[in-house]
Structure 1
Amino acid sequence: MKANLAWPMWALMSAAFAALTAILAKVGVSQINSDLATFVRTVVILIALAIFVTATGQWQAPSEVTRRSWLFLGLSGLATGASWVCYFRALKIGDAARVAPVDKLSVVLVAVFGAAFLGERLSPANWAGVALIAAGVLLVTLRA
């Protein structure tokens, strides 16, 4: 697979893998504690990424990483861990078809946080799309 694919292709592949994650995790967490399931998933990811980074020759000396990068990547890691713990607990007790869309409210929050904290500008059409995503999540969570 070419590493220079355009960002929309990488984003679509991310969405496809995220969908698989929800389905596979729902089955995997069904008979074990959700926190242990999160740990197992994390170990698998760690091993897979170590192999990937080694195979592609992307290792860097830790001294080449700035303190700012260490700080924000560390905070991002903590946020990821908290997200995964919450996600697996939600999957343990909820339907994957409802849990995953609610989890994707992160798309709405990224738009809001990006505008508020990073100075990113979205057009009115972009904000309408964000509102539709939020509305879609609400509709998916309704009980029939």
Structure 2
Amino acid sequence: MPVTPSAWFTWALLSAVFAALTAIFAKIGLQGVDSDFATLIRTCLIFFVLAAFVFFAGKWSNPLALSSKTWTFLTLSALATGASWVCYFRALKLGDASKVAPVDKLSVILVALIAVLFLGERPSNREWFGIALVSLGVFVLGFKR
């Protein structure tokens, strides 16, 4: 009987595909433009695309109905995303996409550690092994002899 991935895994794979395309398209698009300005342009475009998607998918709801906790953590997430994008585009401007993108995946290790500390998640030994392999890959790419 074939094993089929669960819904979260399918969406995560699609996220990885689009993240890969993001790196390649950004590296090409950063030629001749400041990385911070390019991040601003990208962010504006994302805003309009997502606004249209939410509207046409019928997913719009009153943002004022959200709790203060939701607003606080969405704001913190937005600030972290913005900082990540600025750093990522700067790194892409200065380095090879094939090196920058894997090092950016150090976030895999950080997410796992923070999820254990603050969300009470408990990865299995198998999951920790996978996280360790990602970590090893980051260090192999990130450090020269």
Give TM-score, length-normalised by structure 1.
0.93
Q: Count matched residues.
A: 140
The equivalent residue for 1:88 is 89
Superposed CA deviations along residues 58-96 of structure 1, whole A, max 9, x for unmatched, are 111123211100000000000000000000000000000
Give, as a single letter, the amino acid of the residue that structure 2 aligns with 1:124.
N
Q: CA deviation at 1:138?
A: 1.7
The equivalent residue for 1:135 is 136
Q: CA deviation at 1:143?
A: 5.3
The equivalent residue for 1:119 is 120
Please report the RMSD computed on the Cα atoms of aligned residues, expressed in angstroms. 1.4
Give, as a single letter, the amino acid of the residue that structure 2 aligns with 1:35.
D
Q: CA deviation at 1:141?
A: 3.2
Q: CA deviation at 1:124?
A: 1.6
Whether 1:71 and 2:59 are equivalent positions in the alignment is no
Q: Helix, strand or coil: the match of 2:78? A: helix
**Superposed, which structure 2 residues align to 1:22-101 within 5 Å?**
22-101=23-102
Moved beyond 4 Å, runs of 4+: none
Give TM-score, length-normalised by structure 2.
0.92
Distance in 1 separating the partners of 2:48 and 2:63: 19
Superposed CA deviations along residues 26-68 of structure 1, whole A, max 9, x for unmatched, are 0111210000010011011000000100110111112321110
Query: How much identity, in percent, do the aligned residues show?
Result: 56
Q: Helix, strand or coil: the match of 2:60? A: coil
- Give unmatched runs, 5+ long, in structure 1: none
